Amino acid sequence: MIWTEIKNLQSVSLKEIPNLEFHKLREQIVEMISKGCRLIQFFGEKINSGVILYVVLADDEQSKLFIASSNFNDGDSFDSITPEFKSFHLFEREFYEQFGIKPQGHPWLKPVRKGIAGISKEEIPYEFFKMIGEEVHEVGVGPIHAGIIEPGHFRFSCHGEQIHHLEIELGFQHRGIEELFIRNKNNPVYLLKLSESIAGDTVVGHAGTFARAIESLSENNISRRAMVIRTIALELERIGIHLGDLSALSGDVAYLTGNAAFGALRTKVINTTLAICGSRFGHGMIAVGGVNYDISSELKEKILDTINKLEEDVEIAAEVLFSSASVLARFEKTGIITNEIAKEIGMVGPAARASGVAIDIRSDHPFGGFSLFPVHKLTLKSGDVFARAYIRYIEITQSIKIIKEQLETFSEGELKKTSSELKPNHFVISLAEGWRGEISHTAITDENGRLRKYKIKDPSFNNWLAVALSVKNNGVSDFPLCNKSFNLSYSGFDL
């Protein structure tokens, strides 16, 4: 086999990453994906005379990752993999947008974060697909939406009330985060804070993923206590968002009891995070080398108390929500993503699991506290709004169990270990299961042990296409509901 096999968070020397001509790499990719591997990363790095492409695939069942690379000269092109495997479509588009190396035969080379009309004179605005015919109309929404949410443009081609096609244009939130990681590589606090701001609803998720990448590159084995605290913070983040989304989903179908009840429960959860670290969203929780805040035995009791009560409250609220006929009428059979489509386009996270795709990094490629306690993968089959809502509920219950389990084994240990220098010329991929799904950060160091490349993938990158596909043949009025059932990140996608 030509691939280098690694595990999540296992750093390798750049020398150990095989480099082959693209057509050979392509054959290998096709073979591996046909055997059931999954695409994790496909990104480029600019070097003097061209670009290096890194590809990372996963064998989830075996908890293995495979990496290989290929070199391109400026202006080269390559045979697109998308016609065979659709999960490559966005990765190839991003690669083309960033380096100008064209995937020949790509069916839809739409800009990823550029091409927004009127922003830059040199950019040609992207032409949306058009539906032509009598009684056909277009609805354009955004970038600014009705509520207090991030911006993105949605264009619906409709026939009457029915959506035939939805195109989503993102990129409005682009802040150049990956560039900033490299530009400020000498300021560790800045980098950590930057990772917290990749997506402000996934602070612990992204900061933890960043910290573990750096810890792997500096061989810093954090204490078990710190690991447990991180796990608790991550699961609190998951519970908080899931509750918030159940509240919002209730609101979207005008079910105000659910809206109020889940909303109030969410407040209790994020205030627990506040009690630990001073921020409702977990800012400051994670440190490179461990955590910044301890959980005292008094606080431990408080947390247990809160989540025990929460467990009962959530059960009642969920019982009420999911047995209400008017709610079910809107949730069921709305915005269906079939299992085939979910796999084909490479979906991740609870949205994928709601369509029966059993992937969960916590159990497939365990990290931190999850290497101590295995997590059972939860899936549903129907792939509709109902499934994407219901899976939130069962995941909340599961996360409560995880927190209890981890708190029970709480041992003494150092909160934070100082990190030494990063290993020079190394590559590491750090995967984690945030509340939205698979987060992946890849770090590459130069000969002085400084960051040379930092690649981020929020789960939203995998899942945005699913939003567009889910609304096909649904009514326009069901769009907010479908969209919220995924609740994807704009800033995490736009970077």
Partner 1 sequence: MLDLFKLRIRHGKQAIPNIRKAEVLETFKGFPIIDESKCADKCKDCKDVCPTEAIEVNPLRLDLGKCIFCGECEKVCSSGAIKFTNQYQLGSTNRNSLIISSGKTFEQFEEEAVDAKKEIHKYFGRSLKLRQVSAGGCNGCELELAATTNVNFDMGRFGIDFVASPRHADGIVITGPISANMAPALKDAYESISDPKIVIAVGVCSISGGLFANSNHVNRNFFDEIPVDLFVPGCPPHPLTFIHALLDYIGK
Q: How big is the site for partner 1, counted in residues (CB under 8 A)?
A: 62
Looking at beta carbons only, is 9 or 269 nearer to partner 1? Answer: 269
Please tell me whether residue 125 binds partner 1 under the rule CB under 8 A. Answer: no
* Distance between CA atoms of residues 445 and 206, nearest Å: 19
Amino acid at site 436: R
Looking at beta carbons only, is 295 or 402 nearer to partner 1? Answer: 295
Q: Which stretch binds partner 1 (CB under 8 A): 101-109, 184-192, 217-225, 350-358?
A: 184-192
Instruction: Report helix, strand or coil for 134.
Output: coil
Q: Considering the complex, what minimum distance in angstroms separates the CB of residue 235 from partner 1?
A: 18
Among 130, 175, 450, 472, binds partner 1 (CB under 8 A): 175
Q: Which among 26, 74, 32 has a CA at the least distance from the CA of 52? A: 74
Q: Considering the complex, what minimum distance in angstroms separates the CB of residue 295 from partner 1?
A: 12
| Residue 50 host element (H or E) | strand 50-59
The pairing of beta strand 102-104 with beta strand 77-79 = parallel
Residues 233-292 that bind partner 1 (CB under 8 A): 244, 257, 260-261, 263-264, 267, 271, 274-281, 283-284, 292
Which DSSP string corresponds to 381-412?
S--SHHHHHHHHHHHHHHHHHHHHHHHHT---
Instruction: Report helix, strand or coil for 386.
Output: helix
Q: Which stretch binds partner 1 (CB under 8 A): 6-14, 97-105, 148-156, 365-373?
A: 148-156
Please tell me whether residue 6 binds partner 1 under the rule CB under 8 A. Answer: no
Distance of CA 364 to the CA centre of its chain: 15
- The phi and psi torsions of 354 (rounded to 5 degrees) equal -70, -20
* Distance between CA atoms of residues 421 and 424, nearest Å: 9
Please tell me whether residue 305 binds partner 1 under the rule CB under 8 A. Answer: no
Among 148, 297, 325, 376, binds partner 1 (CB under 8 A): 148
Q: Considering the complex, what minimum distance in angstroms separates the CB of residue 495 from partner 1?
A: 9
Among 143, 413, 424, 449, binds partner 1 (CB under 8 A): 143
What does the radius of gyration of the chain's CA atoms come to, in whole angstroms?
22
* Distance between CA atoms of residues 91 and 96, nearest Å: 9
Please tell me whether residue 199 binds partner 1 under the rule CB under 8 A. Answer: yes
Q: What is the largest CA-CA distance in the chain?
A: 71
**Whole-number Cα distances in Å, 151 to 158, 173, 341, 472, 493:** 22, 7, 26, 22, 12
Please tell me whether residue 172 binds partner 1 under the rule CB under 8 A. Answer: yes
Looking at beta carbons only, is 149 or 476 nearer to partner 1? Answer: 149
* Distance between CA atoms of residues 209 and 472, nearest Å: 34
Residues making contact with partner 1 (CB under 8 A): 113, 116, 118-120, 143-144, 146-151, 171-176, 179-180, 183, 187, 189-190, 193-194, 197-201, 203, 244, 257, 260-261, 263-264, 267, 271, 274-281, 283-284, 292, 313, 316-317, 319-320, 323, 489-491, 494
